[in-house]
Structure 1
Amino acid sequence: MERVQEFKIGDWVCIRPFLTSTKYGLGSVTLGSIGIVYCIRPDSSLLIELSYLPTSWHCEPEEVEHVVPFRIGDRKCVKRSVAEPRYAWGGETHHSVGKIREVEGDGLLIIDIPNRQENDGNWVRVKASVSAPRYGWEDVTRNSIGVIHNLEEDGDMGIAFCFRNELFPFSVSDGEKVPRFEVGQEIRVMPSVNQPRLGWLNESPSTVGKTARIDLDGALNVGRQSLWKVSPGDVEQLPGFEVGEWVCSKPSPGSRSSSDLNGASCIAVVHSVQDSGPLTHYTEAEKVPCFKVGQYVRLRTSLVEPRWGWRGSRPESQCVLTGIHADGEVKAAFFGLPGLWRGDPADLEIEQMFMLPFVESKKGG
């Protein structure tokens, strides 16, 4: 019979990796996780703090085992067996070594990486103006997008491309940054790509999916029944807009719209999302909080004049939305004004707290 180890509060423990079941259930716990004993209950069961759980995990003593504690000043690197750290790389690699600067109560480690470059982790490609990179093309193409893994003092970089086993030598003068890919983005293979670099798997040119995970080498894992790996240079990001959402036009450098006088961009409702020929390209718009019937709103403080005039309202006026037209035009009821007030949503802002005007009552006589 195995002797149950004795534990005390503050001990570092590892959840035994070969457990088939636990008395109180695993929940979201990963076998092999390391945490700290937070509490010892009267029945000798333990509460373990794990950095990725919002609450302590309840277990029996025989379900965990002691491990060597982590201490401030220890030098650490990510284990080679870990393909992707729980909190992502942030530009580091398996070769990155740093010192523990802080240990939080749930076991989360804050590690300082010496000489860490701010550019590490950026996404890059060859500039369009460069006819050939300094170190040649090899299997890299003009559309290839990779992730910076190291930046040397002489301006050379090591770039990870998902279709290569080794870092690609790259001169900083040959590259340009591209927008960072993020988990949750909706993507599809570009129409100009006949054969994706990493293959189709069971997908097709019509496949649209969301990125579920991004590998260290930049490979995008599209979250379907089985993850489909896609090279970032083969895809385009989709707008992510849906019919019925509220959007406003982004300010365009060097241009001045008719709404600039009032200091607001135009606000509208998305009616359709088309593959080609849209009246407004999705890169020219951004989402804004939606207006809803029953919301309390007020005229914007910087408003010079409402689109259709004041019509009895004043800069400090507050109102309630009573109707919203399909094109975004709103109807509002102002306190003290007869009838409904027609308004442009760009002239309004949502009130977080609505204060009714104080009306003094007078007694007769």
Structure 2
Amino acid sequence: MAEAILGDHDQYSCSICLELLRDPVTIPCGHSYCMSCISECWNTNDQNAIYRCPQCRHAFDSKPPLNRSTILAEIMEKLRSTELQVSESNLAGPGEVACDFCAGEMIKAVKSCLECRASYCETHVQPHYNVPALRKHKLVKAAVIPVCPKHDKLLEVYCRTDQKCVCMHCLLDDHKGHDTVPSTTERKEKQIKLTHSQTKVKQTIQTKEKELQKMKMDITSHSDAAKKAVDNSKKVFSELVKLIEKKSLEVIEEIKAQEKADLDQGKMLQKKLEEEITGLKKREGVLEDLIQTDDNIQFLQNYESVSSSSGSDELPSFSFHPYCSFEDVSKLICDLTGRLETTCTQEISKTVNKVLDLSAKRPSSDIVVGDRVRVKQSVVTPTHKWGSVTHSSIGVVKKIQNDLLTVDFPEQRNWTGVISEMERVTSGGSVVADLSTKNGLMNIKVGDRVRVKPSITTPKHNWGRNVSHKSVGVVKDIKDDDSVVVDFPGHANWKGILTEMELVTKDEETGPSNLDSTIKVGDKVRVKPSVVTPTHKWGAVTHKSIGVVKKIQSDSLTADFPEQKNWTGIISEMEIVAGAGSGPESVFKIGDQVRVKPSVVTPTHKWGAVTHKSIGVVQKIHSSLESLIVDFPEHKKWTGLITEMELVTGAGLDDIKVGDRVRVKSSVITPKHNWGGHVTHKSVGVVKDIKSEDVIVDFPSHKGWKGILSEMELVNNSDADVLGSS
């Protein structure tokens, strides 16, 4: 509702001050004004003055009374409060773009126009929706519009050569001759890659979340099992204690029963003895009375009866002899305690040892999942064989079960080994330094020339642009996580893993040798491998580019490269390419196998169906035009410049030999000798024979199939497993 009122802002404005009405008054013609504005307008001392409405010019004979419009005043108050609230909510905050047309406060912009190069709020953007000429403008979400700092023009083009956005004027200036495309085209391509990467990340997240969920369940289950074992142990030992207490009570009851029996016997004997003592005391009194008798006759008469009944010698002797000896009972209890203690100690120790045996399945070493490991140098052949792994290989532990572990090596995934045959590798780059060069790894450091190991099928961070097994680059930086940054001729700041790289000595570097002679006009030259970045920058030129010297002035030269004409360089940074001046016939001959150089982004005569991986046979050479005709499997009679091509040696054909597992390259649409049988790109066969450039392969669906070496590629075990499973 407030927005609707604000949308009709003009009808509530005073036509004199053009602001919202204050103390509004309505004159007889129906128009409304601020009381102060109309009063000032009609303020005059002329008695004959005619009062007119400023809008409709209606004349009044006398000055109309100015009475305040209460309802309109209330509407104005509500309108002002609403406008204040709306303006406060629409103020541009930190990091937000403000409208370029709002005066006073910074109102938040909602759209930016790429044509006008300005940003607009909801109110000021309306003309772009209503005015036909402005409807054609490109509106985007409010943002700071990037412009070329040099030409102050809109950035509309992406330079693939320098990997930056440029304006149309830059195409005629610093980026002339570069590989450029519209920003929308590059955005689409990169967005497809990002979407693919995002999909992979989402899939990885889902997989890891499932792993995490399973791990949580396993941990919970393991914890529950431990609690259950503790509860069972408490219960068993508690029952054992109760049993001992029960037996203890039984023994105590038996002791008390024996005590009672013995005490009853003793009390009975004690009673008899007391009775006898009482009888004897009575006889003692009779005898005492007789002895004290004064009358002799009476004494004598009673003597016989008293003396004859004395019977002191006939009384039995009483003594307490219990049936049970409690000293013996205590001894028995002590003996039982000793036996129980010994038994419990032995049996419980056995149980504890068995529990330890169960936990002994855990690796005896300190290797855990996630550790970086390698095969110990002392292990000649691992129990589960090498596969593609070597002593130099360093992988990450993926799983541990009993005394076995599963490791992901760069050369082989899901490799199985024995824990006792492995050793942990510390991080931080010291790993490489700890390994001697004779064991396969060099002490790689910044500034060294390196390449990807031949055993690496795909580097962890992928190949990148124009990087291959033959690419030789200079180490720019080594990180703490064993990653390495390398400047390759075709890809600067390439990221890899130290364990995937190997040093390249001068003897191993391929290509023409350097000449020490003085560079002169007409010589074929290239940038020295030791030069990381030329003084006058690369442009479209790379380390592999070979150009012709066109001009020499002082210590600089101008050269024409296939990738860039009139390139400027420093003589000390250049080297002559040996053998390059004897004509193209000395470089290539008919029948040679060739491919486009990795440094060539786009060949002069375009790609056609050919790619950097395509390998073809030279059919014809035009010396005057410095071009050649090549038959590629994907493109017959393809035309290219000699300077853009390179020879492919036997090493370039993956060193295929008899017994290897191979398949037809995915880049080959139809093999030279046709498919035959049921052979497809996915078919994997075994090389039976090699004759010159021909190869005989036994496929499961076609025995004795004939193909061309350049059309085939090696298949490693992991690829074969994947194909087999699919």
Task: Name the TM-score class by shorter chain.
Answer: 0.3 to 0.5
TM-score, normalized by length of structure 2? Answer: 0.19
Highest relative contact order (Cα 8 Å, sep 6+), 1 or 2?
1
Please identify the structure whose Cα radius of gyration is greater: 2
> Normalized per residue, which structure has more strand?
1
TM-score, normalized by length of structure 1? Answer: 0.34
> Normalized per residue, which structure has more helix?
2
